[in-house]
Amino acid sequence: MVVEFADSAKLAVEVNRRRNFAIISHPDAGKTTLTEKLLLYGGAIHEAGSVRARRDQRQATSDWMELEKQRGISITSTVLQFEYRDCQINLLDTPGHQDFSEDTYRTLAAADNAVMLIDAAKGLEPQTRKLFEVCRLRKLPIFTFANKLDRPSQEPLNLLDEIEKELKLATYPVNWPIGTGDRFKGVFDRRTRKVHLFQRSRHGSKMASETTLDLDAPELLELVEPDVYQTFRDELELIEEVGSELDLEAVLSGELTPVFFGSAMTNFGVQLFLDAFLDYAAKPGPRTARTGSVDPTHEHFSGFVFKLQANMDPKHRDRVAFVRVCSGKFEKDMVVTHARSGKSLRLARPQKLFAQDRESVEEAYAGDVIGLNNPGAFSIGDTIYIGPKIEYEGIPCFSPELFAYLRNPNPSKFKQFQKGISELREEGAVQIMYSTDEAKRDPILAAVGQLQFEVVQFRLQSEYGVESRVELLPYSVARWVTAGWDELAKVGRLFNAMTVKDMWDRPVLLFKNEWNCQQVEGDHPSLQLQSIAPLT
């Protein structure tokens, strides 16, 4: 029997103990390493190395799509769930640079918090900035982890300055490093006012027991070179002048980032980070729906699809819909309403994903992610619910940066080609646009990552039996025209720009670069351009 009502006190307990986050970073900053160390503390793995081993083993063991095997990459974001200090933590894994696609952005739509991982030597890097912008749009609380302090790093004060100036994000260092690189000695935790000593010899594959000292312990002066100690005290004085209280409200509204220093590889500073994160992070909160705000402890289950994964098992041509639970209690075999079609669906075979191992899930609450196996039923952004109607706001189409004509060299396969394109678009694999020039009817693929082109071509071939050719277009910026289109039409052809329509027939301008875009905006004051597609 399916129980539709959940006891509200029980719901509140479950919601309060949930924390959900995604890591945003540039490749090589140490995301795999940090993930591994976090899982170690969560007891989800017993020895670090297994996440990487899984990644490396995938070639041999995975039954995922051929393309993943060929490239040895992960196209999909998976969800890692672990318990720590009585909390249920959901880490939404975002794919890295070489496999960067719209899925990376969409995952942030399902996250309540973001951890911005930066390499302390390199500071902010392009992928991090892009992902940060998406977090900012959603006003996500952001926690910064400056990694690799055991290696020569930038001055910690410079790192804070870079975040403040370039991202316009206030910072609050929760701990402060004593030295960096060869002279890295540890961090001072401002929460407990204790110094945690770094042990260089430590391997870091097991949980660490850290040695702590009081700030004015005489041993500290013996352990730390005088100049390093003096710099540390001067810097500490400087940051404490600004104020010692962390403004939690500013953290939760995404205006201020708590900053942590550490070294994921040597497992240093990871537990300090995790402990503070659990205390400060946003719990699953109310979510805006077209039908009004929905509380996570709302008595009925609801959630939305933020990602579709096709062909995880080619033998079954299955398609998994990843659903972020937003309210109530999810139970296996539940019958829900699909908001877009109004149809009833039985949610059979729900899955929880731990890396590549699929494991069945019995119940889930707000903040959790479940994988549903209902081929063909879902599109990105769809809501499912029980009880009075709920429909969450859709997930926006993100500004593509890569554009290409997709040619069909074999006219006899026209129908399959069209069908394939249309289904892949519905699934959210890529955005499709068309030239406003009637003579050019080939679809234009619009993507945020090169991988999306490869996936489309690969799947057209393997699932629809059609070959295709990608012809890159020299544009990198898309703007939806929300006003002034008529005036633009009078001007005729724009230099260094292309006019296209999206799938909903909405006008979009493609520019070679930002500069060309600003020029056109300057020349046509009545023109209103938007970098993210309005929701349909």
| Positions that interact with ligand GDP (CB under 6 A) | 25, 27-33, 96, 147-148, 150-151, 263-265
Q: CA-CA distance, 334 to 79, in Å (whole number)?
A: 22
Q: How far is the CB of 263 from ligand GDP (least distance, A)?
A: 4
Q: Any known ligand binding at 112? A: no
Dihedrals phi, psi of 528, to nearest 5 degrees: -115, 120
95 annotated as a binding-site residue:
yes
Does 32 count as an annotated binding residue? yes
| CB closer to ligand GDP out of 148 and 324 | 148
Residue placing its CB nearer to ligand GDP in the complex, 265 or 366 = 265
Say how far apart CA 114 and CA 125 lie, in whole Å: 16
Contact of 179 with 196, CB cutoff 8 Å: no
Annotated binding residue at 26? yes
Residue 29 or 89: the one with the smaller Cβ distance to ligand GDP is 29
- Phi first, then psi, for residue 513 (nearest 5°) are -155, 175
Write down the least CB distance from residue 43 to ligand GDP, Å: 20
Which residue's CB is nearer to ligand GDP, number 147 or number 337? Answer: 147
Question: Within 10 Å of residue 210's Cβ, how many Cβ atoms?
Answer: 19
Min CB(28)–ligand GDP separation in Å: 4
Q: Is 295 annotated as a binding residue?
A: no
Measured CA to CA, the distance from residue 69 to residue 77 in angstroms comes to 16
**Residue 135 or 347 having the CB closest to ligand GDP:** 135
Residue number, 94 or 468, with CB nearest to ligand GDP: 94
Place of tokens 């990552």: 449
**For residues 264 and 397, which CB has a smaller minimum distance to ligand GDP in the complex?**
264
Residue 27, annotated ligand binder? yes
Nearest CB to ligand GDP, comparing residues 96 and 328:
96
30 assigned ligand-binding residue? yes
Q: How far is the CB of 72 from ligand GDP (least distance, A)?
A: 13
Dump the DSSP string for 99-112. T--HHHHHHHHT-S
415 annotated ligand-binding residue? no
β-pair partners for 118: 146
Q: Answer yes or no: is 231 a known binding residue.
A: no
In terms of CB distance, is 32 or 383 closer to ligand GDP?
Answer: 32
Cα dihedral 377/381/386/390 (nearest 10): -140
Closest CA to 301 of 245, 354, 365: 365
CB of 392 to ligand GDP, least distance (A): 31
Output DSSP code: residue 383: E
Q: How far is the CB of 156 from ligand GDP (least distance, A)?
A: 15
Q: Considering the complex, what minimum distance in angstroms separates the CB of residue 437 from ligand GDP?
A: 42
Residue closer to ligand GDP (CB basis): 112 or 150: 150
Q: In whole angstroms, how close is the CB of 122 to ligand GDP at the nearest point?
A: 11
Q: How far is the CB of 96 from ligand GDP (least distance, A)?
A: 5
Residue 429 is assigned to a ligand binding site: no
CB atoms within 10 A of CB 277: 23
CA-CA distance, 529 to 18, in Å (whole number)?
39
Taking the complex as a whole, the smallest distance from the CB of residue 199 to ligand GDP amounts, in Å, to: 14
Tell me: is residue 28 an annotated ligand-binding position: yes
Q: 458 near 465, Cβ under 8 Å?
A: no
Q: Tell me which H or E stretch contains 511.
A: strand 507-511
Cα 196 from chain centroid (whole Å): 31
Closest CA to 117 of 163, 79, 56: 163
The answer to whether the annotation marks 93 as part of a ligand binding site is: yes
Find the helix or strand (DSSP H, E) in which 524 lies: none
Q: Specify the 3-state DSSP secondary structure of 464.
A: helix
Q: What angle do CA 180, 181, 183 make, to 5 degrees?
A: 70
Q: Are strands 194-197 and 18-25 parallel, antiparallel or unpaired?
A: unpaired
94 belongs to an annotated ligand binding site: yes
Q: Are 301 and 334 in contact (CB under 8 A)?
A: yes
Q: What DSSP letter does each residue of 280-334 carry, written as one string?
A: HSPPS--EEETTEEE-TT-SS-EEEEEEEEE-SSTTTT-EEEEEEEEESEEETT-
Residue ranges at the known binding site: 25-32, 93-97, 147-150
Q: Which residues are annotated as a binding site for GTP?
A: 25-32, 93-97, 147-150
